[in-house]
Structure formats: structure tokens, C-alpha cells
Structure 1
Amino acid sequence: MTELNRESVEQALGAWTEPALGMDLITAGAVSDIRLDGDAVAIDLSLGFPAGRYQDTLRGTLEAAVREATGARSVSVSVDWSVGARQVQASLKPMDNVRNIIAVASAKGGVGKSTCAANLALALADEGARVGILDADIYGPSQPRMMGVAGQKPDSPEGKTMFPLENHGVQIMSIGFLIEEDSPMVWRGPMVTQALTQLLNDTRWDALDYLIIDLPPGTGDIQLTLSQKVPVAGAVVVTTPQDIATLDARKGVRMFEKVKVPVLGILENMSLHICSNCGHEEALFGTGGGQQLADDEGVALLGALPLEIGIREQSDQGAPTVTAAPASAAAERFREAARRTAALLSRQDPAGTSRFPNIVVDDD
């Protein structure tokens, strides 16, 4: 059996990969202290992503792994976390009251992007983060209905700025609050992009760790405005498994690469249909498309989400799956994808980090 000392504990920690980070906690810099008292070990963790709900699972798994590897009689793990602002585009800086903006995009419509955005926001809030969602789909806003606040209007005390609405523990803003639900937005591109920037900057967001921006499909005016004027820390690209969807999603990934916004990963939606009557599972849209796209583009697969009638019904009723059915397998998949997204974002450079390389002058 390995001798119990600090080195053996560090080796045990280094041999265990944290699923959300995709690396061991030593390499991630998440181990803030290790203390030994005879054959008892105490480990303090400090994570860069929210883990309010996840911490019990993490604590139990890690304690068992260290006990098995070192032979310690008892292992106790404490978990703390804080969300810091991450680097954004070189010409921009993070907003004062929003630490991180995450864009959720799809170059193709109909892949369930807005449903994914809503559930990601709810899952991050469920872990204890302060979260907002901005519905940037000016032509087809869907977040008011999905988040259960359709028909409500935001307060604007001085007629210039607005307080976001709030439901399910998430702050919400959408052009849908300012128009009738069935009114079409017959606007040209410049008006649409101006509306996006006003919705973002004129909303009184309250100390957010994450602002999820639900983008419209495509790679047009809104996406260009986002890259030029909005300080985005990372992007999530939603696709379905079939070739025609991953072909367009690839364009979305490369669009973000061109504008220097890190792609945190691919979220594969509708990966498997589960019959509500018999439970039979069938890959209606094929298999492996999201993983193949992630591998080809060198990014992570954040998760694979099922095609279930309940997910659609819950969103239509204003309580997405993470809120309506928190104990369901689908909700857990959304939470895993959200943790993975936040964890990968925490690995990005902190805001204010220099983008220039160190220059060393050698007299030789």
C-alpha cells in the first residue's frame, strides 16, 4: 500500500479526472490545500465554476478515490467555488455587472437552440450562479413563453433603462416583452442590431455570473454585431446529429473562430428519441454527428440531449425541463452540459490577461 503523505495524496488527485473540467484537479489548480493528521486527510477545493448542487457528488466521489489510492482511514473534502470574469475579444472588456457572456448559437434553425439556452441558464442557476438570459432572436423571440413570463412588461423607471423580468431564479430580457406576441418584426438589419445592443446595454442586469445570449439562427447581422460590440467570453454551438445540421453547425464554429470568440463546445440535441409509451430508443437523426463535429473542430462535446415530448411540452408551458422535472434523466443531462460549459469557460484566461507573448531579449 502507498505510504500516506502529501505526495501520495497529490498523486491520487492527479490520477482522477474531474468530468466537467476534463482534467485532474491538481492540473486545473483547483486544490487550494491538503492537510494530513495521522491517517486522516483533509482536502480543500476551490473551483472556478458553480457547484452548489454538484458538490455533494464531487465530494463523495473524490473522497472514495483518495481513500482507495492512499489507504487513508478518513478523507474529507470541502468544496468552494467562485466565478471570475474571463477574457473577451481584444477590443472589448467585460461589462461591469456581467462577469461572463456565453452565446448559444446554431447556424441552422429548428435544432432546439432556444430550448437548450433556457435549460442551460436554469441549470447554471440551479448550481447557485447568478444567471440571466437575453433573447437576441429579434424576429422570433421565444424566451418569454419558454421562461413563463409571456405578456409581462419590464419596469422602466426613467424611460431609458429597464429592469429584467425574473422567473425560475433567472433574469430575463427579450424584445418579446416590448411587442405583442403575435406581432411580426418587419425590420431591416441595422434596426435589428441596434435593438440587440440596446437590450443588452439598457437592461439593469443585477450582478450576473453568466448571461446566456440566445442567438437567432445563421451567421448574419446579429452574429456580426455580437462579435464586434458585445464582450463574449465563449460560445456554445447547438446541432442535431444529421449531416445537414452538422454541416451548418460547422460554419457556426468557424464563424466564432474568425471573430476570436472561443467555442466552448458542441451541444448535440435530439440525439435519441425515447418513446413515451414503451420507452423504445431510436436515433431518428442518426448517431455520432455531434461527436464527429467536435472531434473535427477540436472542441468538446458538451452533451447529447434526448428528443422527448416532455421537453417540448414543458417549454411550451413556461417551465423548461430543469425546472419542471428536476429529477428526470433529461434534466440531469442539461445540468451535466451546463457544468461542462462553465468548467471549460473557467479554464480560459482571466479578464485583463495580456494577449501579447512575453518578449525575452538575449544578449547572445
Structure 2
Amino acid sequence: MNESTIRNGLVAVQDPINGQPMSESKNLAKIQIDGNQVNLVLTYTNLNPETKNKLNFAVLEALYKIVPQAEVNIHFENKTVEPENPYPHIKNIIAIASGKGGVGKSTVSTNLAVGLAEKGYKVGLIDADLYGPSIPTMFGLKNKRPKVKSIHGRQLLVPLQAHGVYLMSIGFILEAEQAVVLRGPRLGGIIKQFLNDVLWPELDYLLLDLPPGTGDIQLTMVQTAPVTGAIIVTTPQAVAVDDAVKAANMFRLDSIGVPIIGVVENMSWFTPAELPKNQYFIFGKGGGKRLAEFCEAPLLGQVPLVSEVGELADAGKPAILDQQAAIYPYLNNIVERSIYYVGIRNKTDDPTRIVKIKS
């Protein structure tokens, strides 16, 4: 009987916080073996008594199956300090933000998520635009509902999947026509639930499709999760860039300190299907470049305004899935540059901390 034997026995026991195997959980703080005695220390913050009791018996049952001769003692300790990263199974949390609505932020989020999944990464996407959730439509999951899984008495949502991406949206919970009428604290509570009460698997990227602006949802997000970086979406139009500057400035505040990974300029020009080489700059030129220079961040790419993108989105088929489409090289370029610059950010900057904002 050794530590490896004990960990193997805990593989089938799920951590009630994130559903991960207890054998790999950061909440399994210590395994101590002395003869036939096995002492385990589990550390949690505010785990309710019912869940704690059920977890205790689940661990005992699992271990007695493989080491029936052992005397197992389980000690629960309260964490006195919140962990710097409560989501160790998620490598990168990326916020997709904009200053105003209608710039195609959800389209960029959808195609970036699917593009990353197509390249072999494990990807999740939270539709944090609670007033206008569009991810269910863009992934062909309208009127679909997430399942609920009970782990030691704790009820957790199971994310839906489409095109290789794990998804959560308020659009999966409410009826499609139902209006979202919520005040700030409740909005923040839903975002926390989407982060804490969903069974996210191990992910390379979790993308957060944020609502426009700099409101309660954005603040709750940076106070709940250590956001690796933000991608700002704009159109070339001056009014969109002006608002995007405000969105970028929120992340750049000293009290928040979330790095800007880069800028995506959407609707850069209009190209008719029958004239694929023609470019009509109906929203002006250079807005994305100006915003990138202001943010001291790279321009990740420009996306032309092509009618097929909207048509495919309405049909639940992200455009990046069609490698023969005229728009594919532009979208793929953004995916590849995002991977590159997230890698650079992680090599050159310290991990982002959860924001502590004093009132």
C-alpha cells in the first residue's frame, strides 16, 4: 500500500467543486500512510455539511474496495486563503469584449472557439451576454437544455457540446423569446454560476463572450476568475473604435491589470460573392490598427463583411468549418495569431490574479 495505490482508488471519486477525479484534485492536500493507517487531508472553502458528508463516505467506499485492510481517516480543513486560481484545470481564460453592440463579437467568439477546437485544443465558451445570448443559435442548439449532474449532493450543470466546443449560455436555460430582466447583482450571480457550478472538463481555453461595455458582468468576471487576457473586437468605424477604447481601458486599469492579447477588426470591407476580389470600405479604414496601437497590442486580423458568414451563423454552422470558403483564411489567421500571442503573454507576463476591488 502506497500513495500511488491510494490515488488510483480515488480516480472514480469526483471532486464536488469541479467534477475532476479526486486523485488529481488540488483539494486533496495530503496523503499520509503509516502501516495500515491512511490519513487524508481535504481542503475546501465553505463546503456545505451534506456535500462534505457524502464526499467522506464516497472516499471511504472507494478506498475500502482496493485496500480493505486499511484504517482510513479523512480530515477536512477549511481554506483560510482563497486560491489564486480556483480553476487549475483551465489553462487560459480569454475575454472577448467590445465597446458597443453589433460589431460581430459573438461571431468572432464562435469562430475562434471552433477554430481552436479544430486545431486539437480543448475549448469551452461561456455566453456571458445575458441580455442578448446568441451562442445557442450560432451553434445550432436553440431550445436545447443542459443536464444537471449531482456530485455528492451538489447540483452542477453539464455543458452542451457542438463542433468540439463545450458551451454554456443563459439561452440554454430560458425560452428563446423570454426577456432577461435582471439587476446587476443577479447578473453577477449568473456569471459566477457559469464559472463555478458547471462541470467544465480540463480545458486549454475557456472563452468568455462578454456583453458590450464595461458593466456589472465584466467586473464580476474579473473578480471571479483570473483572466489570462482580453481580445477586443471593433469595426473600422470611428464610433466603434471610440467605444472599444473604453472597453480596453477597463482591462488596462491598474486595479484590474488584464493584458490585451490583441484586436480583431470585423466588417473591414464588403466583398460581394459575385466579385470576390472587390473591396468596398463601407465603414471606413484603419480603425482596428488605431485601436491596436492605442492598446499597444497586435492586430490579430481583419474580417471582411461576407453575407455567407451571417447565413451560416443563423444555420448554426460556424464559417471557419468550411476551409473552401473565401473567408476561411481571414478567420484561420486570427485563430493562429491568437494562439501565438497567448503563448507570448504566458511566457513574458506573470499569471493574472483575481481582481480585488475595494468599495
Q: Name the residue aligned to 2:325.
A: 328
Checking the alignment, whether the CA contact within 8 Å between 2:96 and 2:208 is kept in structure 1 is yes
Residue 326 of structure 1, CA deviation = 2.2
Checking the alignment, whether the CA contact within 8 Å between 2:261 and 2:345 is kept in structure 1 is no
Correspondence 1:260 to 2:257:
yes
Q: Name the residue aligned to 1:148.
A: 140
Q: Name the residue aligned to 2:216.
A: 221
Matches within 5 A, 1:136-175: 136-158=128-150, 160-175=155-170
Correspondence 1:300 to 2:301:
no
Residue 157 of structure 1, CA deviation = 2.2
Q: How far apart, CA to CA, are the structure 1 residues paired with 2:143 and 2:136?
A: 8
Match of 2:126 among 128, 134, 138: 134
State the SS of the aligned residue for 1:247: helix
* Deviation sequence 1:47-104 (CA, Å, 0-9, x none): xxxxxxxxxxxxxxxxxxxxxxxxxxxxxxxxxxxxxxxxxxx983261221111000
Q: How far apart, CA to CA, are the structure 2 residues paired with 1:351 and 1:149?
A: 38
* Deviation sequence 1:97-149 (CA, Å, 0-9, x none): 21111000001110000000000001111111011110001111110110111
Matches within 5 A, 1:270-309: 270-279=267-276, 280-309=278-307
Matches within 5 A, 1:226-265: 226-258=221-253, 259-265=256-262
Count of residue pairs brought into register by the alignment: 265
Residue 352 of structure 1, CA deviation = 10
Matches within 5 A, 1:311-322: 311-322=309-320
Q: 1:287 corresponds to which letter in structure 2?
A: K
Q: How far apart, CA to CA, are the structure 2 residues paired with 1:307 and 1:105?
A: 19
Q: 2:188 corresponds to which letter in structure 1?
A: T
Q: Name the residue aligned to 1:46.
A: none
Checking the alignment, whether the CA contact within 8 Å between 1:132 and 1:211 is kept in structure 2 is yes
Using a 3 Å threshold, how does the CA distance of structure 1 residues 101 and 288 change in structure 2: closer, same or farther? same
Q: How far apart, CA to CA, are the structure 2 residues paired with 1:293 and 1:96?
A: 32
Q: Name the residue aligned to 1:70.
A: none
Checking the alignment, whether the CA contact within 8 Å between 1:92 and 1:229 is kept in structure 2 is no
Q: 2:280 corresponds to which letter in structure 1?
A: E
Stretches of structure 2 that go unaligned for 5 or more consecutive residues are 1-81, 353-359
* Deviation sequence 1:246-265 (CA, Å, 0-9, x none): 00111111111111100001
Residue 228 of structure 1, CA deviation = 1.4
Residue 351 of structure 1, CA deviation = 11
Q: Name the residue aligned to 2:188.
A: 193
Checking the alignment, whether the CA contact within 8 Å between 1:239 and 1:268 is kept in structure 2 is yes
Checking the alignment, whether the CA contact within 8 Å between 1:134 and 1:172 is kept in structure 2 is yes
Checking the alignment, whether the CA contact within 8 Å between 2:266 and 2:304 is kept in structure 1 is yes
State the SS of the aligned residue for 1:238: strand
User: Could you say what the CA RMSD is over the residues aligned between the two structures, in angstroms?
Assistant: 1.9
Q: In percent, how many aligned pairs have the same letter?
A: 42
Stretches of structure 1 that go unaligned for 5 or more consecutive residues are 1-89, 356-364
Q: 2:105 corresponds to which letter in structure 1?
A: K
Using a 3 Å threshold, how does the CA distance of structure 1 residues 99 and 304 change in structure 2: closer, same or farther? same
State the SS of the aligned residue for 1:260: coil
